[in-house]
């Protein structure tokens, strides 16, 4: 899709990433992910913003606080508007100071090895968004329920048609946004539908979006908060964006979202 908006190139050497990660019941995976992020992103990592639910277990809260004490780049905030992972991500995005912004879950289902590939693709193509794609060649699912797999497949086919895009994975929450894109769009998701809102809104705006393959692997700790019926929020979100359009935060001061190429 043509890039209707001009983005300043992401300077290869001096970009600083904000990672936004909601936490509900996880412990070991949060520790492992933070270790990976601080080690592998090194100088490029500005901050890991952990948004922890006020309903989280004591063990989970203790791990997050311990991580924040060990490394000042790890910042922990208690979710103000609870419940809902969509609200948690939105609170994290509002706090993020870096650019680009990496969104990822804390349950270990998202493959960290894909992160450098997403960043490289963002730099190469100067995209506004690079998504992890479970449905393109090289991507996939390990341990996903059969029902969710086919439901997700159906959503992808439908959304590809109604948004008229060749992108393969329009619902996954693992992605890297340019901050001016993400913080320039008004987001509304309460729960897991944040995964499609943060992709479909840039697509709807004509922003350049690319994808790299990634494999989803079922969590081994904690449990999913995404019950079956919540999946239908994706449908409502997709049609609302398609017919209702996207509100951009045009008066956002130094966070003016887009420079129109026209």
Number of Cβ atoms within 10 Å of the Cβ of 35: 13
Piece of the chain touching ligand GTP by CB under 6 A; list 104-112, 160-168, 179-187, 202-210: 104-112
From the list 4-12, 35-43, 127-135, 222-230, the region that binds ligand GTP by CB under 6 A is: 222-230
Residue 140 CB-density burial (10 A; 0-12 exposed, 13-18 middle, 19+ buried): middle
Decide if residue 3 touches ligand GTP (CB under 6 A).
no
Site stretch for ligand GTP (CB under 6 A), options 16-24, 65-73, 197-205, 241-249: 16-24
DSSP SS3 for 9: coil
What residues contact residue 77 under an 8 Å CB cut-off, 6+ apart? 49, 50, 51, 52, 91, 92, 95
Residue 107 interacting with Mg ion (CB under 5 A): yes
Pair type for strands 209-213 and 175-177: unpaired
238: tokens are 């997709």
CB of 236 to ligand GTP, least distance (A): 16
Q: 173 with 198: CB under 8 angstroms?
A: yes
Assess 83 for contact with ligand GTP (CB under 6 A). Answer: yes
Q: Choose, by CB under 6 A, the member of 57, 61, 217, 225 that binds ligand GTP.
A: 225
| Smallest separation, CB 103 to Mg ion (Å) | 13
| Residue ranges in 185-214 that form contacts with ligand GTP under rule CB under 6 A | 192
- Closest approach, Cβ 85 to Mg ion, in A, equals 9
Q: How far is the CB of 86 from ligand GTP (least distance, A)?
A: 8
Q: Are 51 and 92 in contact (CB under 8 A)?
A: yes
**Strand 209-213, strand 129-133: pairing:** parallel
Determine the Cα–Cα distance for residues 51 and 169; give it in Å rounded to an integer.
25
The yes or no reply on residue 38 touching ligand GTP (CB under 6 A) is no
Is position 169 an interface residue for ligand GTP (rule: CB under 6 A)? no
Residues that bind ligand GTP (CB under 6 A): 22-24, 26, 51-53, 79, 83-85, 88, 105-107, 109, 192, 224-226
């Amino acid at each position: 899709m043509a890039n209707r908006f001009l983005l300043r190139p992401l300077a290869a050497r001096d970009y600083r990433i904000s990672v936004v990660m909601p936490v509900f019941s996880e412990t070991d995976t949060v520790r492992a992910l933070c270790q990976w992020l601080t080690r592998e992103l090194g100088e490029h990592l500005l901050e890991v913003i952990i948004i922890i639910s006020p309903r989280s277990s004591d063990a989970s809260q203790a791990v997050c606080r311990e991580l924040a004490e060990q490394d000042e780049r790890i910042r922990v905030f208690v979710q103000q508007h609870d419940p809902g992972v969509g609200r948690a991500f939105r609170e994290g995005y509002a706090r993020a100071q870096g650019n680009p912004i990496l969104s990822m879950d804390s349950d270990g289902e998202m493959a960290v090895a894909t992160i450098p590939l997403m960043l490289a693709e963002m730099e190469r193509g100067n995209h506004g968004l690079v998504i992890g794609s479970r449905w393109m060649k090289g991507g996939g699912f390990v341990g996903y329920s059969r029902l969710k797999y086919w439901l997700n497949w159906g959503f992808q086919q439908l959304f590809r048609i109604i948004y008229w895009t060749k992108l393969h994975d329009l619902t996954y929450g693992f992605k890297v946004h340019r901050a001016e894109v993400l913080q320039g769009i008004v987001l509304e998701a309460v729960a897991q539908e944040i995964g499609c809102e943060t992709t479909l809104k840039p697509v709807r705006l004509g922003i350049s979006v690319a994808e790299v393959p990634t494999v989803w692997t079922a969590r081994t700790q904690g449990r999913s908060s995404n019950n079956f019926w919540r999946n239908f929020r994706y449908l409502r979100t997709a049609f609302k964006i398609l017919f209702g359009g996207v509100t951009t935060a045009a008066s956002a001061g130094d966070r003016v979202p887009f420079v129109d190429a026209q």
